[in-house]
Amino acid sequence: MPKVTIDGIQYEFNPGETIIEVASRNGVEIPHYCWHPRLSVSGNCRMCLVEVEKMPKLVIACATQAMDGMVVHTKSEKAVKGREHVMEFLLINHPLDCPICDEAGECALQDYAYRYGTGYSRFIEEKNHKPKRVKLGPYVMFDAERCISCSRCIRFSKEIAKADQLTFVQRGDRVTIETFPGKEFDNPYSLNVVDICPVGALTNIDFRFKARVWEMSATKSICPGCARGCNIDIWVRNNEILRLTPRFNEKVNDYWMCDHGRINCFKFVNADDRIDGPFVKKESQLVLVNWDEAVSRAVSELKRFKGNEFAVIASPFATLEDNYALLKFSKQILKTNNIFFIPHIKPGDQDDILIREDKTPNSTGLRLLGIDVSKNDLSLETLDEKINSKSIKCLIVVEDDPIAVKPELKNAIQNLDLLIVFATNKNKTTQYADILFPAATYAEKNGVFVNFQGFVQRIRPAVATIDVDRSLDGLAQSRWDKFGTEFDKWARGRKVNARSDWKIISQIANALGGKFDYDTSEDVFIEITQNVKELANLDYETIGELGYQIKSSKLIEEKILV
Amino acid sequence: MAVKKRKKDLNFFERIYIVEILKGMMLTLKHLFKPKFTRQYPEEKYVQPPSYRGRPVLVMDNGKERCVACGLCSRVCPALAIQVQAAETEDEKERYPELFEINMLRCIFCGFCEEVCPEEAIVMSKDYELVFTKYEDAIFGKDKLLVPVEQLKDRLEFIRAHR
């Protein structure tokens, strides 16, 4: 294999690789703005200048292919000087906006100016002025003054999002980025340009000015928006989610995520319609009660029915652990096989990039457990008949809204003798519940989702519920969380009184004589791995940050995996 | 430093004390006719030099705060006394503090917020009379923090001179 020497160390490379690719693969930092591992090379920022022996001038590492025997210096005097000059040029027209710029704290220009800049500017003339608040599309705001014209956003739209919507106009120091006349920058992946923009020129309108980046904590999790299960970071300040950003996972979502996931998949966690504490119906009113009362009511009510009078709706929005506990509860305690889930398919809303038709994060996981959309001739379609004919008298709904999916169900549901609902937010079904348990959202619990490719991926709690203490339970903490007391407003964010479904189910099951002996969600998961052979020998540590892929041709034949 | 004499080293006059007592009374008498240092606080207020660090205040320029809610004061504050929430404004500065609160029970008057401020928007005032009877009263919002720039001229000049 050919070898290239970078800063005195030899590295092997595959013919065709550029210097920056070899360096970044081996952990040698070469500063860059316009180069991105997934985008074409444009070579216009000039920040990655390195010295190559026997070449008369400095070369850009992103566009120079490595050659056998090449000797590259990234820290030689000539290379350092070159970078300093490039940095000075880039800063000539860059405004001193850091105090009002959302990018501050995660800005490549700030970082490199600090590490590779000279610390002063010789430019005393008036800086160039350009429009500062241009709304490029529904989610993206553009500040032309801050732009360093690296063209990453243009190349992203063209090459990754396959929507050629942005372009450079004008030349020289007047160059700026625009959409085509009368058109908006509105492709379903538009917000990724905010992440790849090395400066604060492109900002997220939804997150604009909400918080400084250093005030938040980031928790590694999974987006619940569709069956893709993009890896994300959940950014939390004062127990409130403020934004989601994609987390790199080459085989699932690469560096990207869709706008729908980023904008819509966290607001319900902070919403006012969260169910806060367990409710029980008394004189046709849902009344807030404590956990013991709600559980004992559920236990005594459930005893009135037997076997096939029960129907259980599992949830593709809940974790594998929750659904496993529910399945075990149905089979061992209720002694019924009437368990199914409601599919949430949006036909046609799918592309070759990330978005999937199946709008739930865990339907593959449910199928792995053996729960399907219909069971024993029972599904969402036949549910109302069976309720009206009194063959089903008790319905348990976990984290789903059957009435929203099928409005005709409304009348049938009122004919039930008992309706137990586990829900995160108020929905069309919760008002008819006899017993309503508050379920923790994906951002408040541990667990796993299985995506359509068979990736078993972990979610972790980012928001604390009432039972949880950020430091004792190991949640990510920002400086504010670490030092805040109960007297500080900024550390007293709302905590919802909710629990993971498996916890509530286990409590009910144990009161009904079951043996649901779990302390943590991992205990449940270990039991799943003993029962589901595709997951054998897995635990949370093996799943790790990037997930574990189930490889099974049998599952592909059965159309459980794609 | 005065050398302390042992008792056996004292001479006769020192040993009888009367002379020494008279000397001391002369000193008291002398100070009786010298200018007085005692300040009749609170009737008579202390006028501080511009280097004095009283409670931090926000500079109000043309009826608006200079602050752009960058959050640096909040970040640098060693006592975590400052909470800032930014919001968008139509003004040229783009953002302003929707909420700016200093918990005066946490504040230690170190002046780091003033030092870090990129806009000269928060300065240490001369106000040192801070009394509260309720916890909530100790949290100063924008209503208590905003002070017209005219009243803060000498402090602003001082920090510019000592940058």
**Helix count and strand count (H, E) for chain B:** 6, 7
Indicate whether A218 belongs to any domain: no
Give the residue-averaged pLDDT of A260-276.
Answer: 95
- Does residue A119 sit within a domain? no
Cβ contact A74:A6 at 8 Å: yes
What is the span of the domain harbouring residue B141? 56-161
Confidence of residue A46 (pLDDT cuts 50, 70, 90): very high
**How close is the nearest chain B Cα to the Cα of A210, in Å?**
6
Shortest alpha-carbon distance between residue B4 and chain A (Å): 52
The residue of chain A nearest to residue B89, with distances taken between CA atoms, is: A209
Instruction: Express each pLDDT in A195-221 by its tens digit.
Output: 999 999 999 999 999 999 999 999 999
Lowest mean pLDDT among A283-292, A297-306, B14-23, B79-88: B14-23
The predicted pLDDT at position A106 comes to 94
Tokens of A354: 């990330």
Is A165 inside a domain boundary?
Answer: no
**3-state SS class at B136:** helix
What six digits make up the tokens of B85?
């929430």
CB A141 within 8 A of CB B88: no
pLDDT at A203: 96
| Strand pairing class (B82-88; B146-148) | unpaired
Q: Is the predicted pLDDT of residue A309 greater than 80, yes or no?
A: yes
Residue A239: left (phi > 0), alpha (psi -120 to 50), or beta? left
**Which helix (DSSP H) or strand (DSSP E) does residue A264 occupy?**
helix A259-264
What pLDDT score was predicted for residue B67? Answer: 95
- pLDDT band with cut points at 50, 70 and 90 for residue B1: low
In this structure, are residues A252 and A231 in contact, taking their beta carbons and an 8 Å threshold?
Answer: yes
Cβ-defined contact of A488 to B80 (cutoff 8 Å) = yes
Q: Could you tell me the two tokens for A121?
A: 């500017």
pLDDT in the model for residue A558: 74
* B118 in contact with chain A, both atoms CB, cutoff 8 A: yes
Of residues A208, A209, A214, nearest to B75 (C-beta): A214
8 Å CB contact of B103 and A488: yes
Closest in B70, B83, B87 to A490, CB measured: B83
Residue A316 CB contacts under 8 Å (≥ 6 apart), including other chains: A341, A342, A343, A344, A360, A361, A362, A363, A365, A366, A400
* Residue of chain A minimizing CA distance to B86: A209
pLDDT(A298) > 70: yes
B71 touches chain A (CB under 8 A): yes
Write down the pLDDT at residue A394: 95
B104 → chain A, closest CA residue: A488
pLDDT tens, position by position, A180-194: 999 999 999 999 999
CATH number reported for the structural domain that contains residue A398 in this entry = 3.40.50.740
Interatomic CA distance for residues A550 and A562, integer angstroms: 11
Closest partner CB to B70 (pick from A99, A210, A488): A99
Distance of CA A523 to the CA centre of its chain: 24
pLDDT (average), residues A517-545: 94
Asked if residue A251 is part of any domain, the answer here is no
Dihedrals phi, psi of B72, to nearest 5 degrees: -70, -35
User: Is A387 inside any structural domain?
Assistant: yes
Among A72, A92, A112, the domain boundary falls at A92
Strand extents, DSSP E, chain B: 56-61, 64-65, 82-88, 95-103, 122-124, 139-140, 146-148
* Candidate from A99, A210, A480 with C-beta closest to B72: A99
* Cα angle: B36, vertex B41, B45; to 5 degrees: 90
| B143 domain-assigned | yes
In a domain, B43, yes or no: no
Per-residue pLDDT for A487 more than 80?
A: yes
The rounded distance, in Å, linking the Cα atoms of B26 and A75 is: 77
Q: How far is A100 from chain B (nearest CA, A)?
A: 6
- B138: domain CATH number? 3.30.70.3270
Residue A277: pLDDT band with limits 50, 70, 90? very high
Query: Contacts of residue A98 in chain B, CB cutoff 8 Å?
Result: 70, 118
**Model confidence at A467, in pLDDT bands (50, 70, 90)?**
very high
Report the percentage of chain A scoring pLDDT > 70: 100
Number of domains observed in the structure of chain B: 1
Dihedral pair phi/psi, residue A457, rounded to 5°: -125, 145
Is the model's pLDDT at A104 over the cut of 80? yes
Question: Across residues A282-307, what is the average pLDDT?
Answer: 94
φ/ψ of residue A372, rounded to 5: -130, 180
Chain A residue with CA closest to B68: the answer is A100
Preceding peptide of B56 cis, ω within 30°: no
Domain contains A274 = no
A100 contacts B68? CB cut-off 8 A:
yes
Whether A196 maps to a domain, the answer reads no
B residues 38-67 lying closer than 8 A (beta carbon) to A: none
How confident is the model over A350-373, as pLDDT tens digits?
999 999 999 999 999 999 999 999
Buried b (16+ CB within 10 A) or exposed e, A42-69: bbbbbbbbbbbeeeeebbbbbbbebeee
User: Given A92, A116, A132, which residue is the final one in a domain?
Assistant: A92
A62-77 residue pLDDT tens? 999 999 999 999 999 9
Contact A13, A1 (CB under 8 A): yes
Average pLDDT in the A399-417 region?
93
Cβ atoms of A121 and A84 closer than 8 Å: no
The last residue of a domain, from among A70, A92, A114: A92
Mean pLDDT of chain A: 94
- Model confidence, pTM: 0.92
Residue B137 lies in a domain: yes
Domain-embedded: residue B21:
no
**Chain B residues lying within 8 Å of A104, measured CB to CB:** 70
- Tokens standing for B148? 């017209």
Q: What is the chain A residue with the closest CA to B106?
A: A488
Of A132, A133, A209, the CB nearest to B86: A209
Quick check: B103 contacting A, CB < 8 Å?
yes
Q: How far is CA B10 from the centre of its chain?
A: 48
| pLDDT confidence of residue A503 | 96
**Residues of chain B contacting A133 with CB distance shorter than 8 Å:** 94
Which residue of A lies nearest to B97 if distances are taken between CA atoms?
A: A209
CB contact under 8 A, A99 and B118: yes
Residue B97, pLDDT above cutoff 90: yes
Split into its structural domains, chain A has a count of 2
Among A112, A58, A105, CA closest to A87: A112
pLDDT tens, residue by residue, A411-442: 999 999 999 999 999 999 999 999 999 999 99
The yes-or-no verdict on residue A234 having pLDDT over 80 is yes
Q: Which long-range contacts (CB under 8 A, 24 or more apart) does A542-547 make?
A: A543/A448, A543/A456, A543/A457, A543/A458, A544/A458, A545/A220, A545/A231, A545/A458, A546/A231, A546/A249, A546/A251, A547/A231, A547/A249, A547/A252, A547/A451, A547/A455, A547/A456, A547/A457, A547/A458
Minimum-distance CB partner of B87 among A209, A215, A487: A209
Name the residue facing B95 among A209, A484, A488 (closest C-beta). A209
- Is residue A210, in this structure, part of any structural domain at all? no
Q: Which of A97, A209, A237 to mutate to test the interface with B (most CBs of B within 10 A)?
A: A209
What residues of chain A lie within 8 A of the CB of B139, using their CB?
Answer: 489
- Please report where in the chains the tokens 């893709």 appear, as a residue: A228
Separation in Å, CA of A12 to nearest CA in chain B: 44
pLDDT category at B78 given cuts 50, 70, 90 is very high
- Contact partners, residue A529, CB within 8 Å, separation at least 6: A535, A536, A537, A538, A539
Looking at residue A78, which CATH number applies to its domain?
3.10.20.740
Residue A288 has pLDDT above 80, yes or no: yes
**Structural domain boundaries enclosing A46:** 3-92
**Once rounded to an integer, what is the mean pLDDT over residues A444-467?**
95
- The neighbour count for residue A77, using CB atoms within 10 Å, is 9
Taking CB atoms and an 8 Å cutoff, what residues of chain A touch B93?
A: 100
Do A193 and A152 contact (CB within 8 A), yes or no? yes
Establish if B134 belongs to a structural domain. yes
Q: Beta A71-73 vs A3-6: how paired, if at all?
A: parallel
Report the percentage of chain A scoring pLDDT > 90. Answer: 91
